[in-house]
Amino acid sequence: MRRTFARSGCAVLIMIGLPLFGLAGVQAQSAGSWLQWGRTAQHNENSPVAGQSPQAQLADVNFDPFVAAEQAESREGALTAHYQDPLIDGDTTFMEFKTGYWVPCNPPGSHVPYPCGPDAWNWEIWNERAFSWQNGVFAEKWNFQSDWIPEPNSDVNDVGDKSGFGLQGWEPVFHAAISGGHVFVPGASGSVYELDEVNGAMLQHFMPFGSDPNTYVSGPLTIDASGNLYYNAMALDPTRPWTKDVTGAWLVKVAPDGTSRLADYNQLVPGGRRICFGFISCGSQRPSINIAPAISPDGKTLYTVSRSHIFFYYSYVVAVNTGDLSPKWNVSLTRLQNQDSEDFASDLSSSTPAVAPDGSIFYGALSEEGSYGDGDLLKLSPNGEYLGAFHFGWDITPAIYPHDGTYSLIIKNNYYRTQGPYFITQLNSALKPEWSFKNETFNSDHPNGYEWCVNAPAVDANGSVYANSEDGNIYVIDQGGTFNSKIFLKVAIEAAYTPIAIGPDGLIYGENDGDLFVIGSQ
């Protein structure tokens, strides 16, 4: 869905005094399990198994009962929410589920009586639920109700989002991760819960920030191959969260022995607090919302994305040493050499860094022409050198397909400025197009086809690409850009950008209009 925009190493070690469970010894997961955003800590979205043929809907479960209300409140009836990647470990599936209340505005979209609509999304409740197949039925095993809430949508009494600051109705993502037979779930006050994967029982509650209600877990959790848990957190002013500077922003590491370490973003990006327009503070550095930290293949380096809090004009890809969270390097997106346009990190995006087998880092940034929905897929070396960019329809975590001693990247390539055409495009490692697959479902309302509404496509062991479109279908595209098959889910006009996952048995897990669909041939 097209989005428009108004442009207007110091670390602290904290001991957690709780008994230790799942982090202290990572168990081997089933081959092909999808355990976090993008499947692995590199967020490369490739599966070592072949996906099943999409012949049938095997399950359809609603996880967001507020979709109709959310669309009524948004511009043009769009579903402006970010959703969790379906997580699969063996024969068990894990997904976010929303309960609680939606507080409607009167009339919808008016932002009055304040707080209502997206300004009252803290009345919703985010749950993590486990499902498994029981006698052919996709049945719930357990439910864990978290106290996590997203960052506020806007400043208090910023009725109608007149300032242009804040999240403009784009609900941040609630995103768990799995390791060693345990599920790690975001909580309130910058905390994380550790659950038993079998029954959902709480084992530990990591609280590095105490009980401060204005500190938020921001973005998906990431767990590396050694069982270290990483995530971003930020503390906001309770009444002016977006027009007053952050009160703190951190990268958090929880080690297998239960100890926590924090790194301040202003330490990770020294000098990142700058002046905009010659006299206004851009704000301190803090994580871009919805960023999942990415880990290098050797496990030694973490990559995240930082931006100035009030104005996003100073945005950076940041490299951090995983051992002690000390800064390694940072690269300004607005000052990359040999680049045609400046780039930024947007809080409305779900783009997350992805790391290729050779250690190169890829990030889908918003370009200075972002009012048209334009962006650049940027490539950096492991040392932070700028290696190139591909201009495309923004907001993507690229799938990385390793083959023949090299790799390719799969992205959506939507031409928003001209309202189409819309492509899934595969690039080589140097960001040169290898093939494109065009959406060719046309009607009077969509003369140039339908937009690809995937923010994280999947690629299987055969190189087949899986992506969802606003025409309501999940498509399977073979190497060379040839059509394989598709299956219709439901109409999804102005749908949220959502991820897709492949289970260890090849089942396909897609999302559409707040429903989780399981697709396969059996």
The size of the chain, in residues, is 522
DSSP string, 350-370: ----EE-TTS-EEEEEEETTG
Does residue 177 register a pLDDT over 60?
yes
**Domain assignments of the chain as residue spans, ordered by start:** 11-520
Distance, CA of 332 to CA of 225 (rounded, Å)? 29
Long-range contacts of 374-378 (CB under 8 A, 24+ apart): 374/416, 374/417, 375/343, 375/351, 376/339, 376/341, 376/343, 377/409, 377/411, 377/427, 377/431, 378/317, 378/333, 378/336, 378/343
CB-CB neighbours of 78 under 10 Å = 19
Residue 480, phi-psi category: left (phi > 0), alpha (psi -120 to 50), beta (remainder): left
| Residues linked to residue 217 through DSSP beta bridges, in sequence order | 233
Token pair 């020294």 in the structure block, residue: 270
Q: In whole angstroms, what is the distance from residue 124 CA to residue 102 CA?
A: 6
Q: What's the pLDDT tens digit per position in 475-513?
A: 999 999 999 999 999 888 888 999 999 999 999 999 999
Radius of gyration of the chain (CA): 21
The HSE-up count of residue 192 (CA atoms within 13 Å, CB side) is 32
The average pLDDT across 230-238 equals 97
| CA gap 320, 327 in Å, rounded | 5
**DSSP helix/strand/coil, 400:** strand
* Beta strand 294-295 pairing with 301-308: antiparallel
Task: Categorize the per-residue pLDDT at 443 as very low, low, confident or very high, splitting at 50, 70 and 90.
Answer: confident
Neighbouring-strand partners of residue 512: 515
pLDDT computed for residue 4 by the predictor: 38
**Residues 356-385: pLDDT tens digits?**
999 999 999 998 765 667 889 999 999 999
Residue 163 has pLDDT above 60, yes or no: no
> Which class is domain 11-520?
mainly beta
pLDDT above 70: residue 337: no
